[in-house]
Structure 1
C-alpha cells in the first residue's frame, strides 16, 4: 500500500497518454535537447527517448520512457502507462531488438533489447521498487506481468 495505507493512485488514463504525447512533442520541437533527464533527484528515474523500428510499418517510432541505469545498461518497464495492452515500442523491440536511445546531454546510441528473466528480472524489479513504492500495486492492475526491458549498448551485446 502507498503512504497512509491508501492504494497507489494513478491519474486517469487519458491524462497519462496525453502527458507522454506532449512530452514527446516538446522533446522533438527542441531538437532532442530538452525534456530528457538523468536518473536521480526527486523522481529517482530518468527520461530517455527510444526510437524503434515499427514491426509492421518498418518506419521509425519514438517514445519517451522512464529508465534506470544498471552499469552500462538502461532498464525500462514495458508498462504502457499501466494500461492492459503491451506498449507498441515493446512489441516493436520484440520484432527488431536493435534501437536508438538518447539520454540527456548525449548523442544517440545504438542499443539491443532483451526481456530480463529470472534472477535478473527480480533484481531489476527491486531497483525500480526502490524509486516507486507503488510499483507492485500499479503492476497488479495489468492482466499480464510487466516486462522489465534491458537496453544494452550494441557494442557490448
Structure 2
C-alpha cells in the first residue's frame, strides 16, 4: 500500500513539523476544529465518494466506521499514520480536550470496524497499544502529528493509540451482528 502524499509532505522536514505544530496548537483549530473539521470532512468524503477531504491537505486522513452502543453506525474522520504493510495508527487526542473521543470507546467495546482510505473500504480489527508500544511508535506519531505531546499534556489523561490491522470483510460483518467482543488482547484504560 502506498501512502498518498499531502501538501505538507512537500515541505522540508523541519518546516513541515513546525508548520503542523503551529496549526495544531492554534486557538482557532482547538476551538473550532472539533466542531467544523469532522463535518466538512464527512461532507466532502460523501461528495467525492471517499477520494478527498479537506483535512488531507495537511495530514493523511481516513474515515473510521464503528458501531455505537445502540447499534447505529458512526463515521469519524481521523488523522492516521498508514504503513506500507497496510496497517493504520490512529490517536485519540480529541484536539487536546479532557474526554476520550466516542470512537475510542466504540473500538474498546467492539474492535471490529472498517476504514475508508482514498476511495477503498478496508475491514480492520483495532488493538489498543500498550504504553511500551506507544513509545516504540512515538517517532512515527510525532512525524504525522507534531502536536501530539502538547495535546497529551493538555488533556490530562492517557491518550489512547490504536493500530488498525486489515482483516477479512466477513469478520467485521459477523462482529457487528454479534455486538460486543470479548477480545482478551484489548486493554481498557481508566478514565
| Category of TM-score, reference length = shorter chain | 0.7 to 0.9
Q: How many residues align?
A: 147
TM-score using structure 2 length:
0.67
Unaligned ranges ≥5, structure 1? none
1:2-81 counterparts in 2 under 5 A? 9-12=25-28, 13-17=30-34, 18-35=36-53, 43=58, 45-55=59-69, 57-70=70-83, 71-81=85-95
Shift in Å, 1:36: 7.6
Query: Is 1:109 aligned to residue 122 of structure 2?
Result: yes
TM-score using structure 1 length:
0.80
Unaligned ranges ≥5, structure 2? 1-16, 172-191
Runs ≥4 in structure 1, deviation > 6 angstroms?
Answer: none
Cα RMSD for the two superposed structures: 2.7
1:92 to 1:130, Cα distance in 2 relative to 1, 3 A: same
Considering fraction of residues, name the structure with more strand: 1
1:52 to 1:139, Cα distance in 2 relative to 1, 3 A: same
Partner of 2:6: none
